[in-house]
Amino acid sequence: MSTAAIAGALVGMSQAKTQMGIQAVLVKQQLEADQGVVDLLASAVQAAPAPGTGQVVDKTA
């Protein structure tokens, strides 16, 4: 292998490493955004009234 071929291979590997790093950051950011949505929905479910609440009028009050 010539020096130019080795240098070209190293440049290609460096670019691939950079691209993989960027993809990892993007996946992490998407995961954090998805977790925020899940947390929001979980808090909304916990704050919801119990099933059946508000369906019958309490006339004794």
DSSP result, 4-60: HHHHHHHHHHHHHHHHHHHHHHHHHHHHHHHHHHHHHHHHHHHHSPPTTTTSS--TT
Residue of 14 and 54 predicted with greater confidence: 14
What confidence score (pLDDT) does residue 50 get?
74
Whether the per-residue pLDDT at 61 is higher than 70: the answer is no
Find which of 4-8, 44-48, 50-54 is predicted with most confidence, using mean pLDDT: 4-8
Residue of 17 and 47 predicted with greater confidence: 17
Predicted structure pTM score: 0.60
Structure token pair of residue 1: 């292998």
Q: What is the 3-state composition of the chain as percent helix, strand, coil, each rounded to the nearest 5?
A: 75, 0, 25
